[in-house]
Structure 1
Amino acid sequence: MRDIRPKRRVAALGSAGVLVTATLIAGAVAAPSASASASAGARHGQDREARGAAIAAERAAKAGIDWQDCPGDWGLEKPIQCGWVTVPLDYAKPYGKQIKLAVDRIGNTGTAQERQGALVYNPGGPGGSGLRFPRRVVTKSAVWANAAKAYDFVGFDPRGVGHSAPISCMDPQEFVKAPKADPVPDTEADKLAQRKLAREYAEGCYERSGEMLPHMTTPNTVRDLDVIRAALGEKKLNYLGVSYGTYIGAVYGTMFPGHLRRMIVDSVVNPSRDKIWYQANLDQDVAFEGRWKDWEDWVAANDATFHLGTTRDAVQDKWLQLRATAKKNPIGGVVGPAELISFFQSAPYYDSTWIPIATVFSKYVAGDTQALVDAAAPDLTDTAGNISSENGNAVYTAVECTDAKWPTSWKKWDRDNTELNKNYPFMTWANAWMNLPCATWPVKQQTPVEVKTHKGLPQVLIVQSTRDAATPYEGAVELHNRFKGSRLITEKDAGSHGVTGLVNPCINQRVDDYLLNGKLDAADVTCTPHATPKP
């Protein structure tokens, strides 16, 4: 999702190419229990990692970043500059194997007196690259013009992503050519085939990237972020996180509260341990269905333009007909039900896609098959290993599967998704297959960080739309409750994923006021929605 996963072929695994020391009572002779020993061991490991992170940050502060023009094939024009920050693969072994993280920046556009430091960005995923963030200055984004006067805009590729020690789980050529089975299973044999693909994918991750996998976690990305802060010469971090980037922010605020200056989190992953990550994905399925219906209502209201039906049910009927046709014979030989979901899922994500998606759908119904093939067919050129959708998918899987314990019982997966699919069919099974490698994950799964307020945490600004499909609204409320003193801006009756980049003066002015002046409203704020697209 610049969701909690990268934009990807849905269900790449076949169906779519698709995170106090115990004290003994004096005189006690009994040995500590196994669970006490385990928790003490976990604490010892965390202490070693905390020391390792401090060592790495101190080293990075001394080294700084050797800024140069960006490599020509990175697509980052001057005056954007690129560089590298070195971090330990394993923070428990800070002098062991090191990996290099790609970072980029563009200087603030205002005066030296106006400059307030660096604003570091993560767009989500897991698996998303932040390197394009400085381009918001190059392209003169009006929404970010005021912040750009005060801040250097800094992006980075998280560990495993893009140019930062990229990982892989299968050959990128095979990934884009993966079979086009319908994600919604008709038979037990269909489910068995998907289970086999998921297990093979997990094994492929280990075979191709086994050294990295145990260290592909949100807490390690958070430690990396603190090392980047130090390398930038910043005593405190200014951070903007969207989607999964909000979870990075939540964990950073928990682990490094005294290192934060300002933080905005936009479209929030629910940070509850109970949600990371199995339940979060089930919650997504419910929210996607709701936002899908919003889009269908909008299409119906604009029937004079799109001719797809004057009611939601009529539009849904045409969608089901399209799926059935593609299931029987892939459209143009390349667009099956999985490709359809991969294309149409952008509508619940971003209302900026409502018009182009409805236009393609309308053309298809009117007899123009090619428009749909051009829009939805797999991109067979998307095979440049370190920046391919295969890499994004690998990182998504590695982080979510390693971050937390997942159910290993197929009966539970089958029962939960079969039940959910009855009322929320749009994304349920595609999402299940996407995540199923976590059921047979080949490395130890961690316990997520308990996100909460610690001494030194500054006021955090939380921004969220109520109808967000990828990160349901309840996640923002949960983080708001956990971070004392935070403020929540709610965009009511809107559903685009990623709010701060849209034109809505009620939100834009408050984001600027926070970044430029550190000011927040005395209470939470509800804003009316940004403008709905008009065909």
Structure 2
Amino acid sequence: MKEITKSAALIAAAAGIVFGVVTPLTASAAEEPLTWTRCAGSGLDPRQQCATLEVPMDYAHPGGPTIDIAVSRIPAEKPSARRGALLLIAGGPGGTSLNDPSGKGQKLPQAVRDAYDLIGFAPRGNAPSTSLSCGLDHADLALSKLRPWPAPDGSVTENMTTARRVAAACASGGGELMRHITTKDNARDIDRIRAALGERRLSAWGVSYGTYVGAAYSEMFPQRTDRIVLDSNDNPDPVRAERAWVAAYEVGVEDNFPEFAEWASAPGHPYRLADTAAEVRPLFLRLAARLDHEPIPWPGANPEELNGNVLRQTMLDSLDDPDEYPTLAKLITAALKGTALPAPATPPDAAMQNLVAVSAATICNDAAWPRDAATYRKGVAESRARYPLTAGMPRNALVCAAWPWRPKEPPVRITDRGPSDVLLVQNERDVATPLSGALKLREALGRRAVMVTNDATGHEAYLANGTRCGDATVSRFLATGKRPRQDVHCR
């Protein structure tokens, strides 16, 4: 779940309504267009403008308290060719696309930038929108703590303790807004953005968790959609929609580690770990097991040691993008040789506080999780036996195991009822959103969608880690509306 800067990428690594019921434009939304001003921050395209939209905190009580949603845009570059607005939906939960019109949006081909206003936004809870924080201790912001890695012996006791501690902090520090951060609320906010833009229909490019948000918007507001691109796709199961995000790493790592092993055994680069690809996996497993019991001090990191789970978490982060393979290889080499560890790349605490709060609220509010430790003990034991690289983490307890609230409404159920205006693009080897989950979304959408599958490695396909064939297919759809008649495989 990668943003336009390195720090945002680090943070991201750390994201049913019956068809036919269309929410009409409200008078207030239609009559109060956004007021655009200069955006705060540095390094932005000077054309990017920012505005603030007021939306209900609780859509069940639209006359109650309101919150602010920060919105950005770069206007279409050729007014005579303008078709409408293209909303960029970030991954996460906890990601923001507010600066994406200046970042990834500028990678779009000229024909797309001519046709659309590029729209970004900070979803509810994400600064500079009305923001959330749980006020967690620094130690609880470690990525190896936020992903529920079990103890070296497979115990989940500490994970359950962490879940209770973090849930209590979020309940006391997050305020009423903590209860109203859901995928459905994100979709409702998007429709308010559409109305405030004065658009009858909205196009979108959603990435990672943003594919679930984009699919939810298409399900809840089907007649408000124009051209929808879903990139690096989540499993849409309405009960497992959030749990599947962590569970997917079992398969995602197995799909991707062989690619890392081939790279790490290839001659001709300074990060070579072994003579053959077959040697890399046992080398990694032996090192992780050793670090479980003999961690290495790592000043400045969080935690300040390289233990087995920190190494495993670094693996997850590095498999996200082949360009990050050297990060994992350098860490392995230093640990094996006993040389100085690389300088740690630690996201700032303030950003992590916001990310963790929004991520926890979304995941836990969308669907109920098991609360008994026995469920997680069983799952972890099964996962450790079958998928040793991920050591049981994908079936372990997140904060939701102790979340103080139950979901306020059922999760979105993605169906094949609605306009046929969706294009999915997916890499075959994606550690965070593997092909197996994407195929579930493709099946759920049925005739509404066509899918482009890239013979490629890495998270985020379009204009990032995909193929020229895949990029051209998506660009043509956005610029002209022309979609392949059937699913496409790109090499």
TM-score, length-scaled by structure 2: 0.88
- The letter of the residue matching 1:478 is K
- The letter of the residue matching 1:412 is T
- Does structure 2 conserve the Cα–Cα contact (< 8 Å) formed by 1:198 and 1:437? yes
Q: 2: distance between equivalents of 1:81 and 1:412?
A: 49
* 1:350 equivalenced with 2:321 (yes/no): yes
Q: 2: distance between equivalents of 1:8 and 1:202?
A: 23
Give the alignment of 1:60-459 within 5 angstroms.
Answer: 60-72=29-41, 76-109=44-77, 111-136=78-103, 140-141=106-107, 143-171=108-136, 173=138, 175-176=140-141, 183-187=149-153, 191-302=156-267, 305-323=270-288, 324-325=290-291, 327-333=293-299, 334-337=304-307, 338-362=309-333, 365=336, 368-371=339-342, 374-376=343-345, 378-379=346-347, 382-384=348-350, 388-432=351-395, 435-445=397-407, 446-455=409-418, 457-459=419-421
Residue in 2 that maps onto 1:489: 452
Name the SS of the counterpart of 1:99 in structure 2.
strand
Q: 2: distance between equivalents of 1:284 and 1:58?
A: 45
CA deviation map 1:83-132 (0-9, x unaligned): 111110011111111000011111222x2111122110112101001112
Q: 2: distance between equivalents of 1:62 and 1:505?
A: 43
Name the SS of the counterpart of 1:64 in structure 2.
coil
Residues 413, 360 of structure 1: CA spacing in aligned structure 2 closer, same or farther, 3 A cutoff? closer
Residue in 2 that maps onto 1:14: none
Larger radius of gyration: 1
* Percent identity of equivalent pairs: 29
Name the SS of the counterpart of 1:135 in structure 2.
coil
Residue in 2 that maps onto 1:527: 490
- Does structure 2 conserve the Cα–Cα contact (< 8 Å) formed by 1:123 and 1:243? yes
- Does structure 2 conserve the Cα–Cα contact (< 8 Å) formed by 1:267 and 1:498? yes
Q: 2: distance between equivalents of 1:169 and 1:345?
A: 25
Deviation at 1:219, TM superposition (A): 0.5
Residues 391, 341 of structure 1: CA spacing in aligned structure 2 closer, same or farther, 3 A cutoff? farther
- The letter of the residue matching 2:35 is D
Residues 360, 145 of structure 1: CA spacing in aligned structure 2 closer, same or farther, 3 A cutoff? farther
- Does structure 2 conserve the Cα–Cα contact (< 8 Å) formed by 1:89 and 1:212? yes
Name the SS of the counterpart of 1:369 in structure 2.
coil
Deviation at 1:151, TM superposition (A): 1.4
Residues 176, 345 of structure 1: CA spacing in aligned structure 2 closer, same or farther, 3 A cutoff? same
Residues 180, 520 of structure 1: CA spacing in aligned structure 2 closer, same or farther, 3 A cutoff? closer
- Does structure 1 conserve the Cα–Cα contact (< 8 Å) formed by 2:383 and 2:392? no
Q: 2: distance between equivalents of 1:361 and 1:179?
A: 17
Residues 236, 172 of structure 1: CA spacing in aligned structure 2 closer, same or farther, 3 A cutoff? farther
**Of 478-487 and 93-102, the range deviating more from structure 2:** 478-487
Q: 2: distance between equivalents of 1:178 and 1:153?
A: 32
Residues 524, 169 of structure 1: CA spacing in aligned structure 2 closer, same or farther, 3 A cutoff? same
Residues 178, 222 of structure 1: CA spacing in aligned structure 2 closer, same or farther, 3 A cutoff? closer
TM-score, length-scaled by structure 1: 0.81
- The letter of the residue matching 2:98 is L
Name the SS of the counterpart of 1:241 in structure 2.
strand
- Does structure 2 conserve the Cα–Cα contact (< 8 Å) formed by 1:58 and 1:230? no
Residues 112, 215 of structure 1: CA spacing in aligned structure 2 closer, same or farther, 3 A cutoff? same
**Of 360-369 and 197-206, the range deviating more from structure 2:** 360-369
Residues 172, 159 of structure 1: CA spacing in aligned structure 2 closer, same or farther, 3 A cutoff? farther
CA deviation map 1:266-312 (0-9, x unaligned): 11111122432334432332222331232123211347642310233
Deviation at 1:491, TM superposition (A): 0.6
- Does structure 1 conserve the Cα–Cα contact (< 8 Å) formed by 2:71 and 2:122? yes
CA deviation map 1:305-337 (0-9, x unaligned): 423102334323443454324752333342323
- The letter of the residue matching 1:203 is A
Deviation at 1:169, TM superposition (A): 1.9
**Of 405-414 and 300-309, the range deviating more from structure 2:** 300-309
Q: 1: distance between equivalents of 2:102 and 2:340?
A: 35
Give the alignment of 1:494-505 within 5 angstroms.
Answer: 494-502=456-464, 504-505=467-468
Deviation at 1:406, TM superposition (A): 1.2
- Does structure 2 conserve the Cα–Cα contact (< 8 Å) formed by 1:213 and 1:443? no
Name the SS of the counterpart of 1:500 in structure 2.
helix
- Does structure 2 conserve the Cα–Cα contact (< 8 Å) formed by 1:8 and 1:393? no
What are structure 1's unaligned runs of at least 5 residues?
Answer: 12-17, 20-42, 529-535
Q: Number of residues paired by the alignment?
A: 475
Deviation at 1:210, TM superposition (A): 3.6
What are structure 2's unaligned runs of at least 5 residues?
Answer: none
CA deviation map 1:383-408 (0-9, x unaligned): 33xxx122112211111111012112
CA deviation map 1:215-243 (0-9, x unaligned): 11101100000100111111101100011
- Does structure 1 conserve the Cα–Cα contact (< 8 Å) formed by 2:76 and 2:82? yes
- The letter of the residue matching 1:487 is V
